[in-house]
Amino acid sequence: SAAEKGGYDYFMLKEIAEQPKAVADTLLGRIDAAGSLSLDEVRISAAELREVDKVVIVACGTAFHAGMIAKYAIEHWTRIPCEVELASEFRYRDPILDSRSLVIAISQSGETMDTLMALRHAREQGSRVLAICNTNGSTIPRESDAVLYTHAGPEVAVASTKAFLTQLVACYLVALYLGQVRGTKWGDEIRAVIRDLSQIAGAVDRVLETMEPVRELARSLAGKDTVLFLGRHVGYPVALEGALKLKELAYMHAEGFAAGELKHGPIALIEEDLPVVVVVPSPRGRSVLHDKIVSNIQEIRARGARTIVIAEEGDEAVTPYADHLVRIPATPVLLQPLVATVPLQVFACELATARGNEVDQPRNLAKSVTVE
């Protein structure tokens, strides 16, 4: 009913708008007064976490994209090797696991059969399983050794939005917590990022306030067949997520690429007026990557692409090459997906509406996939 949708036309719109609160709620009570993380609810002892020699993340779809981003954070802040695998592929390749492997299963619903089967397989090999889940008491957390709940509240739209942002928050918390417990050389950075994370809901809110031009752009592209998405580093999974949203909602051919791969094939797809969304890494921090992506934008534009550039406020290097420029607030490099994903959600939702598609219930899809 209209009341359930809180005045929005679709649950998806409501859920996109709820993201600042969902993010804040997922952080609530998990950062103490001294600015350290307290994750006692993760009932795997600090001693056990210090023994972990490998992290393996399993998930599907959007949750898998959260896992891809988690890998960058976990390896950077903890120096523990981390693999991310589609849950549906995991157990069939006889993965190498033992009691020192920490397996993280990410699932909004907690009922996804592929993810459940992957975690059962991990536990059979003696690994500890930590669930990141949005649904209290669902099967995946019940069968895991520990759970860190995301507090997105119920997500009704089939296309995942607020659950994704909170999965990212939970992944950052786990990565930072592992770093904190194990005491890496990144101690100061970890403390600074925890501070930034506690402010990030405000940044998500600011993105939401500036989305009208994105909606307008989406409407103007309603007649297109294909949209490509490019990103690098944590922007690569964001590109994949943007493409997945567009497939699900707009039924368009959408593909995400690591921008560095362009020259290895995908650049052949570029033609006159093809919309290409580029997620630009922060010019601070890893500025080498930033410069490389700016060259990519130049290359595809020289071949006729219509460039839709998502870049940090104050990043002027991209301006001459952007046919459409979407600004996002500056964040620490690893946290950028929390703000960069939002315009892509809005873009896909508006394109679906413009194409007359059912936003909350896309064809052929179910909210949780309880078959393998």
Footprint of ligand AGP on residues 241-260 (CB under 6 A)? 248
Element (H, E) at 353: helix 337-354
Question: Which CB sits closer to ligand AGP, 246 or 262?
Answer: 246
Question: DSSP 3-state assignment of 276?
Answer: strand
Around Cβ 118, how many Cβ atoms within 10 Å?
Answer: 29
> Binding to ligand AGP by residue 16, rule CB under 6 A?
no
Question: DSSP 3-state assignment of 160?
Answer: coil
> Binding to ligand AGP by residue 62, rule CB under 6 A?
yes
Q: Which residues of 319-352 are buried (b: 16+ CB within 10 A; e: fewer)?
A: eebbebbbbbbbbbbbbbbbbbbbbbbbbbbbbb
CA distances from 182 to 28, 177, 332 (A): 23, 8, 22
Footprint of ligand AGP on residues 113-142 (CB under 6 A)? 115
Which position has the token pair 């925890």? 194
> Binding to ligand AGP by residue 360, rule CB under 6 A?
no
Footprint of ligand AGP on residues 179-208 (CB under 6 A)? none
Q: The tokens of 358 are what?
A: 């059912």
CA distances from 225 to 51, 96, 121, 214, 272 (A): 50, 42, 40, 18, 13
Q: From the list 49, 63, 200, 221, which residue makes contact with ligand AGP (rule: CB under 6 A)?
A: 63
Specify whether 367 is catalytic: yes
Question: Which CB sits closer to ligand AGP, 26 or 107?
Answer: 107
Whole-number minimum distance, CB 237 to ligand AGP, in Å?
Answer: 13
Residue 240 amino acid letter: L
Q: Which stretch binds ligand AGP (CB under 6 A): 57-65, 76-84, 284-292, 351-359?
A: 57-65
Whole-number minimum distance, CB 346 to ligand AGP, in Å?
Answer: 14
Whole-number minimum distance, CB 60 to ligand AGP, in Å?
Answer: 4
Q: From the list 160, 166, 180, 345, which residue makes contact with ligand AGP (rule: CB under 6 A)?
A: 160
Query: Which chain residues interact with ligand AGP by CB under 6 A?
Result: 60-63, 107-109, 112, 115, 158-160, 248, 368-369
